[in-house]
């Protein structure tokens, strides 16, 4: 996870989109979450990070 100022980013810089699930296989964000990441506030980003953990655990 990259830390820049107050912005947490789960980006791995390798996007592999799962067409069926409509999310990235490396960072587990939806296309909408990826495209809007820059405008989300810190609270929204933390909520998404929690969702990512759930998705990652479900994928194991």
Say yes or no to pLDDT of 44 above 70. Answer: yes
Position 60 scores a pLDDT of 82
Greater pLDDT, 20 or 1:
20
Question: In the predicted model, what is the mean pLDDT of the chain?
Answer: 89
Confidence class of residue 8 from pLDDT cuts 50, 70 and 90?
confident
Helix (H) or strand (E) holding 38: none
Please report the pLDDT score of residue 3 as a whole number: 45
* For residue 23, pLDDT beyond 90: yes
49 pLDDT higher than 80: yes
The separation between the first and the last C-alpha atoms of the chain, rounded to the nearest angstrom, is 19
């Amino acid at each position: 996870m990259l830390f820049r100022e107050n912005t947490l980013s789960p980006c791995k810089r390798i996007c592999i989109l799962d067409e069926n699930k409509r999310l990235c296989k490396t960072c587990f964000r939806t296309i909408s979450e990826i495209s809007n990441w820059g405008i989300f506030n810190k609270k929204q980003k933390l909520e998404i990070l929690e969702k990512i953990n759930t998705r990652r655990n479900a994928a194991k």
